[in-house]
Amino acid sequence: MPDAPEQFSWLVRSGYAGRGVVYLLLGWLALATRARVNAGNQAVFDMLQKMPLGRIVLGVLVVALAGYVAFRLLCVVCDIEQRGSDARGLFHRLASLPSAVAYSIVAYSALRFALGLKHGAGAESQTRATVHTALDWSMGKVAIGVVGAGFVVAAAMQVRQAATGHFMHRVSGRAPAWVEALGRIGFAARAVVFAIVGWSLVRAAWWHHSSDAKGLGEALVSLRSSGLLYTVVVIGLMVFGAFSLIVARYLIIPRVERQDLKPAFG
C-alpha cells in the first residue's frame, strides 16, 4: 500500500485530471450543443449522470476534484510549494485560494448529481442564484465584489502564464515539448473567460443586480455573437482540459510529510 506522501501525490494528480475532464466536456457542449452550455458545470454533470455508470463516474470526479481543492488549500495554509511568508510569497499563496473555493463549489455540485439530489440543470443560472442570495447578506455586496476583483486579477495572471510559460517550472522535463504550447493556448483562453466572469461579478456587486452575474457557461454564451472569438475561446478551453490531463502525469508535486501540514504564516 502506498505511503501517505504517495497517496497525496495520486490525489493531486487525480485532481488535475478531474479539472481537465470538466473543461473538455464543457468545451464539447459549447461546440456541439450550444443551448446547454449556459448552465456551465451543471450541464457537464447532467450529461455524465445520464451516461452508463454515470453516477459512479461522477463519484470518481468528486474525489478527484476534492484532491485538487485540498492541494490548493495546503498551498495557502501550509506553503507546501515553499513560496515563503514575505509579501510576494503570501500573494502567490493567496492566489490559490479563489481556485480552491471555485473547485470546491464544482465538486459539491458534482456530488449532488452523483447522489441524485439534482436532476438536470435548472433554468435559472446557479451563479446568479448564488449571487442573488449573497447580495441579501449584510456584507454580501462586498464579498461578491472581492470575488469579482479576484477573478479579474486571476485573468491577468492567466495572461502572464500564457505570455511567459512560467507554469512549466512545475512540470517535469520528461513531458513532451509541445505541452508548453498547449498550456499557453489554454491559459490565454481562460484569461478571456475569467475577465468576463470577474467584471460581471463586480458589476453585480456595484449595481446590486444579480442578473449581471455570469458563471463560466454564461461567460461563454456572451461571446457567441463574436463568431470566431467564441470558437477560438471554446477550443482554447478544451486545449486547457487536454493540458490538465497531460500535466496530471508530469506534474512536479512536493513530497509532503506530516510535519509539513502545519500553518506557515508569519
Instruction: State yes or no: pLDDT of 70 exceeds 60.
Output: yes
**Amino acid 211: pLDDT:** 65
Average predicted confidence (pLDDT) for the chain: 79
CB of 125 closer than 8 Å to CB of 116: no
Only one residue has cell 473543461, namely 23
**Amino acid 208: pLDDT:** 67
Q: Does residue 263 sit within a domain?
A: no
Q: Does residue 260 sit within a domain?
A: no
Average pLDDT for 28-57:
70
pTM of the model: 0.80
Q: Does residue 168 sit within a domain?
A: yes
Higher pLDDT, 29 or 2: 29
Exposed, middle or buried: residue 149 (CB in 10 Å: 0-12, 13-18, 19+)? Answer: middle
**Amino acid 163: pLDDT:** 95
Q: Does residue 22 sit within a domain?
A: yes
**Amino acid 179: pLDDT:** 95
Domain residues for the domain of 36 are 4-255
Instruction: State yes or no: pLDDT of 94 exceeds 70.
Output: yes
Tell me how far apart the alpha carbons of residues 98 and 68 are, in angstroms, rounded to a whole number: 12
Task: Show the DSSP H helices in the chain as ranges.
Answer: 4-32, 41-49, 54-77, 87-94, 96-114, 126-135, 140-164, 179-207, 216-221, 228-250
**Amino acid 250: pLDDT:** 93
Higher pLDDT, 40 or 244: 244
Q: How many domains does the chain fold into?
A: 1
Q: Does residue 29 sit within a domain?
A: yes
Instruction: State yes or no: pLDDT of 249 exceeds 80.
Output: yes
**Amino acid 124: pLDDT:** 41
Q: How close are the terminal C-alpha atoms of the chain, in Å?
A: 36
**Amino acid 86: pLDDT:** 80
**Amino acid 122: pLDDT:** 45
Instruction: State yes or no: pLDDT of 44 exceeds 90.
Output: no
Q: Does residue 127 sit within a domain?
A: yes
Q: Does residue 119 sit within a domain?
A: yes
Tell me how far apart the alpha carbons of residues 223 and 231 are, in angstroms, rounded to a whole number: 9
Instruction: State yes or no: pLDDT of 185 exceeds 90.
Output: yes
In the three-class reduction of DSSP (H, G, I as helix; E, B as strand; rest coil), residue 170 is classed as helix
Exposed, middle or buried: residue 220 (CB in 10 Å: 0-12, 13-18, 19+)? Answer: buried
Average pLDDT for 144-172:
88
Which residues, 6 or more positions from 101, have their beta carbon under 8 angstroms from its beta carbon? Answer: none
Q: Which tens digits make up the pLDDT trace of 203-223? A: 887 776 666 677 777 777 788
Tell me how far apart the alpha carbons of residues 136 and 158 are, in angstroms, rounded to a whole number: 32
Tell me how far apart the alpha carbons of residues 218 and 201 are, in angstroms, rounded to a whole number: 12
CA distances 242 to 21, 40, 62, Å, are: 8, 18, 19
Q: Does residue 261 sit within a domain?
A: no
